[in-house]
Amino acid sequence: MFLVCLAVALPAAAKRIYTYRDENGVLHFTDRKPDTDAEVEERLVEVENKKMVDVREEGPPGNRRYYFFNHWRGPAEVRVEFSLAENVVAEPSLPRNFVMTGYGEEQLFTVKQAVDTLGARYALRFFTVPGDPEAVPDENHAYRLPFRQTKKYFVGQGFGGSASHNDDQSYHAVDISMPKGTPVMAAREGVVMHVEEDFYGAGTDLDRYGTRANNVRILHEDGTMAVYAHLQLEGVAVKPGSAVLAGELIGFSGNTGYSTGPHLHFVIQRNVGGKLKSIPFRFDDGTATGSAPREGRWLEYRR
């Protein structure tokens, strides 16, 4: 018996589907806007969210090999454990945390029957978190403002904001109020680790909208990760695996997910003990030392 359980439920996303009839009366469905003179109907439909990790098994029941595929373009930590184990052993032993490289498949462990003459059964579960737990953040780095240097925007919520910045993942985050469609720029060079851009709608129902913000996650050379969230539907300008420079366009702001109005949620995270944790940062705002974003203040480049 084999069972895999994810640590969190995967939400649904939206996708544009186009339908039209050709000259022969055949009805076509496509997720790309068709080049046709026929009348085209466009609608949003629910699709599955992108997975971080998939698992497959090979071999006979008494000697089963487990392979994990990391879909994200950056490291992922996978914790695997038995939820049931009768007359089986794992090599290497479980529970164990494995750190996978970006985008690829690895054999992580094998499950074998301990005593051939006895029956065996087992169940497995795994939990995933992005990032390398051995990463050491560069605490001296000053981040570029994540918008055009000629603009200025208001900080609606800063570090420890009572509205939603109250957990490890988002405590050191900043919400920057900006109109929908505002160009969002990379605050630091890195590699695009993951993209979500198929969500639509916003609200304060945490169960429904808490994980439905379109976002870009960028991996930096010190192992930290920047998240740019609440981007507009199909409002991402980069692809997973691509390298970006500080100041490069990565998308457009929106109002998706758990949100009460258009804004950019910006946070720097790292993997600490198998959990995402936000870390404090400062912006290069043109002053000698830069500054941490403060709620109720304007962000602007002053040089």
The pLDDT value recorded for residue 77 is: 97
Q: Whole-angstrom Cα distance, residue 160 to residue 174? A: 9
The pLDDT value recorded for residue 49 is: 66
> What residue type is assigned to position 201 of the chain?
G
Cis peptide before 179 (omega within 30 of 0): no
The pLDDT value recorded for residue 279 is: 96
Give, as one character, the DSSP assignment of residue 291: B
Count of alpha carbons within 13 Å of 175, Cβ hemisphere only?
22
Q: pTM of this prediction? A: 0.85
**For the chain, which residues score pLDDT lower than 50?**
1-13
The pLDDT value recorded for residue 5 is: 31
Q: Which CA distances in Å does 20 have to 14, 30, 47, 94? A: 20, 9, 20, 53
Report the number of secondary-structure helices (H) and strands (E) in the chain.
1, 25
206 phi, psi to nearest 5 deg: -60, -40
The pLDDT value recorded for residue 144 is: 96
Domains of the chain in sequence order: 1-130 (2.60.40), 142-300 (2.70.70.10)
The pLDDT value recorded for residue 13 is: 46
| Secondary-structure percent of the chain, ordered helix, strand, coil, rounded to 5 | 0, 50, 50
